[in-house]
Structures are given as structure tokens and as C-alpha cells.
Amino acid sequence: MARAIWLVLDSLGIGGAPDAASYGDAGADTFGHIAAACAAAARGPLRLPNLTRLGLPHAHALASGQVAAGLAPLPAAQGQWGCMIERACGKDTPSGHWESAGVVLQQPFGLFAAPEQSFPPELLAALIEQARLPGVLGNCHASGTEIIARLGAEHIASGKPIVYTSADSVFQVAAHEQHFGLERLYEVCHLARELLAPWNIGRVIARPFIGEPATGFTRTGNRHDYALAPPGQTLLDAVCAAGGEVFAVGKISDIFAARGVSHSLLASGHDALFDATLQALARAESGALVATNFVDFDSVYGHRRDVPGYAAALEAFDARLPELMAAMRAGDIVVLSADHGCDPTWPGSDHTRECVPLLAWGPDLAPRALGRRGSFADLGQGLASHLRLPPLAAGVSFLED
């Protein structure tokens, strides 16, 4: 039996979803706008030889209706390529990952829509009392780096953690690792996870940072997500039920609430995540799934609207792909996808509702176009069929149609 590798290029949307206008995202195109900015700049067009061979610009052209700037003419792809449309409502991390693993969210997560005074007073009152806090700061929609820069000094002086949200279903808590304490931050987030049950919020995220007011603050790699569990059996559950092992690299374990995870490999930064992926693959036996989320595309570049940074990160990721392909053996498959968009040229700092790529390659896999897929769940169904697992509840296998 073969092995499967699933790489999530977090936020790499490839053009607006059919319902993007309903989310205020008509015209969003993460990959296309990055490519256009690069082609217009002195640095020149995006250099993605390996992702191009796998069919990324081909998938983008299918989703957006045009070839990305600087990438024409497109060579014949050497992998299987297509685009996927999300069935679940929203543009958040859990619903995108869960649907890709075979569970389509039927009811959308709750949101805190008010830009200011975002959280219900009774929620904050309970958190302050039960966590024995002197109060909280923030209570608004914000970019994480911006609100830490703005309120970090007051947080240190007062001992009050910073709480904030966004257009996604999140309750985020930022606190200083030394002045507040990392373990105390985790305890506050764990308590918040319990208190948020009536609001059906997808994730509570601990956002630790270091630094001092005089020199500035920096977020650390000790982020931790407290997610709701998927409401059905995922691909990860199915692998484990069949006796296989799941190697969850990066924040994959957090996103699936540690369910269906045999080994959790933590790493911070794309190079470390890639190294951990290669280490997991070296340990993986037949029937195993290695799943990695490359979060910096989203958290470091997308949300911060850093176009040059996003482009450079794509090129660095592309340069390492041959290492993974060389480590694969006959019968293996690697699938690359995303969970939503986060167009760094778009107003604000939130995710964007976009189509995402579906790219597949293996030593024995014949290249072909996969077309426009009606659900992210086609990815999970395809990997389930590859691993000879019983069919998942949702999706049409991209390997069998």
C-alpha cells in the first residue's frame, strides 16, 4: 500500500469563488495579484518552476479565467491539476481543512461581527472572573501585529491580556510570554474555549509575543489553536481506523482538535515545517498520511498584506519541492492545496473567499487536467481511494472520475 502527503499552502487562493461577492470579495485573487505585482516590479515575474510543472498557474487560469502575469505561455503540466470550490459557508481555516478531509460544514461558525466592543459583555465578565484577570484590552476587530504594537505596553503595565477577533470565527488572546506567562496564556485560552460553547466559535488562538516597549514586540512560534472537533469522520480518522498512521505537521493537529492524529510534529517557519515533513515521510510506513500546513503564507504575509514577502515565500517553497519529490517512492502521492484566500492586495487584513488549487503528483501518476471541482472534499475522497480506505461521507475522488 502507498503513502499520501497533503501540503496546505495556507491562504493560497487562485481567484474569487462563485459566491465571492456575498463575502465582499468579488475580484480577490491571491495568486494572480501577487504575480501581477511581481511582473510589474523591478524584481521581475514570479519564479516557480516546480509549482508550474505541477500545474499551479494552469489551475489559476482555470479558476480566474486568465493566465497570471509573467507566467505565459504555460508549459504542459507534469502533474494533475484543477481548482476547487468550497461548499461550506465562510472563509476560515477549520471549515477549509475539514472539507478537504471529507467533512462539509453544514452550519456556519458563529462570528463576532461588531468592529468595536466585539465580544458579549457576559462572555468577557465570565472570562475575567474565572481566569482571575484584572480585565482585558482590545475587544475589537484587529490585525494581530497592529494590536500588539498598539496595546503591548499597556498589557505589560496592567497585566490585562489583549483579546481581539476578525471576520473569521476566532477569539484571539495575545499576551507576553515573560510578563504574563506562556502557560497562563494557554490556561486563559483553554477556559475561553469552554466559555465560547454557546457562540459556536471555530477557534480560540493563543498569540504569545516577546519584546519590550522601547524595542518593539514580536510574535513567537508558540501559537496554539484550540479548535472545535470536526462534526464527522475525517480522512485523518479513517486512516487511523484502518491501522495507518497520521503525521500532523505544524498546526494540522490543532485544526483537527488532535483527533485522528498519531504523531504531532511542531515546527515554526516554512523551512522548519518542510524539514519536519521530510522527517515524517522518512518514518511513514505504507498506508500513512503526512499532512502539513504552511501557515506563514497566511499569518506572516497574507494578513499583513506583504506582497513581496508572500512572493519570496512562494519561491522559497518552490525551491524545496524537489527534495520532497526525491524522497517519494513508487505508489506515493503528494497533493497541494489551500484552505481559503488571503489576498495581500485586498483591503483590510482578513481572508478572502476564493477557489483553491488541487495539484497532485506521484512517480506513477499520469498528468491530466482535473477540472473545476465542486467541493474541497474531492481532495479527501481522492486520498481515501489512494490509500484504499472506505469512501468518506462527502466528495468525488479526483483519481477515479
Cα 78 to the center of its chain, rounded Å: 25
Residue 1 pLDDT greater than 90, yes or no:
no
Virtual torsion, Cα 348, 249, 310, 206, nearest 10 deg? 30
Banded pLDDT at 167 (limits 50, 70, 90) = confident
Question: What is the C-alpha to C-alpha distance for residues 371 and 13, in angstroms, rounded to an integer?
Answer: 16
In the chain, what's the furthest Cα-to-Cα distance?
62
Eight-class DSSP state of 199: G
Banded pLDDT at 211 (limits 50, 70, 90) = very high
In this predicted model, what pLDDT tens digit does every residue of 218-261 receive, in sequence order?
A: 999 899 999 999 999 999 999 999 999 999 999 999 999 999 99
Determine contact, residues 22/336, Cβ cutoff 8 Å: no
Question: What is the C-alpha to C-alpha distance for residues 117 and 140, in angstroms, rounded to an integer?
Answer: 6
Question: What is the C-alpha to C-alpha distance for residues 50 and 323, in angstroms, rounded to an integer?
Answer: 11
pTM for the structure as a whole: 0.92
What does the pLDDT read at residue 207? 97
Question: What is the C-alpha to C-alpha distance for residues 13 and 84, in angstroms, rounded to an integer?
Answer: 10
Residue 401 pLDDT greater than 80, yes or no:
no
